Amino acid sequence: MRGHRIAVGAGLLALMAAASPAFAGPPYITDDPEPTDTGHWENYLFIESAHVAGGRDTPAAGIELNYGAFEDTQMTMSVPLTPNPGPLGMGVVWAPLGGGIKYRFIEEDDDGWRPQVAFFPSIAIPVGAANRGASLTELFPVWAQKSFGAWQMFGGGGFTNNPGPDNRDFFNWGIALQRQVTDELALGVETFGQGRDSVDGRASAAVGAAVQYDFTKLWHVIGSVNTGIENTRQADQFSFNLALKWTP
């Protein structure tokens, strides 16, 4: 099952803008509604980077911890491990500290049409000298998923409260399709984006491909590559993320 990465911008799109939290189901930018199993952990040690026009490609690392605290309820925390260059390479910006609670309030009907659905309110707390004066950002998304044999389709989105001078509140969205190719290997594709996050900003969108390989029930490797299809130069000419996942 996929977890949720909060640490590095609203998807990789806002990582480049350093403006808002990322809410994702690694290796996807799009999240899913499935919480971590009750009493279990789902953790990620990840590295990711993005290229934008005029910017430097400096990978950012972080760790995300997910715990199934109650039935249908996941607690999430994400911590950055390295600083990131600011927008267009100006200054140094730490990815925000993140936290959230995923609650699945509709269970999937395996024999019918009903998908599983979850609400995942989360916050991003700006840290680092370059973020001094920045405001706490909140995201309020709803995610849904439906399975069809070896296929899964999931997606959704939500409202991001993005306070601060010249900032704008905006919506994030994403949709992904994944196939379990073998018992160990899963492949998928997605498209995702966000609205304008500042008064002089532009909406952004991207497409990507993802892979997960399960070495054992405990150890997994996941990764994805993405490229922009809207506002490409300033948002996402090329980006990637790679993570070691462990599920004790």
Let me know if residue 190 belongs to a domain.
yes
The answer as to whether 1 is a domain residue is no
Least Cα distance to 12 among 98, 24, 3, 140 occurs for 24
**CATH number of the domain where residue 165 is located:** 2.40.230.20
Split into its structural domains, the chain has a count of: 1
**Residues contacting residue 111 through CB under 8 Å, at least 6 positions apart:** none
Residue 2 lies in a domain: no
Structural domain of 128: 11-246
**Residue 15: its pLDDT value, please?**
38
Does the residue 227 lie in any domain? yes
Q: Does residue 208 lie within any of the structural domains?
A: yes
pLDDT digits (tens, 9 = 90+) for 169-221: 999 999 999 999 999 999 999 999 999 988 888 898 999 999 999 999 999 99
In a domain, 144, yes or no: yes
Which stretches does DSSP call E strand in the chain? 41-51, 60-70, 73-80, 83-85, 92-94, 97-106, 116-119, 122-125, 137-148, 151-161, 170-180, 185-194, 204-214, 219-230, 238-246
CA angle 57, 29, 61 (to 5 degrees): 45
pLDDT, the chain, mean: 82
Closest CA to 226 of 212, 213, 240: 240
Whether residue 5 is contained in a domain is answered as no
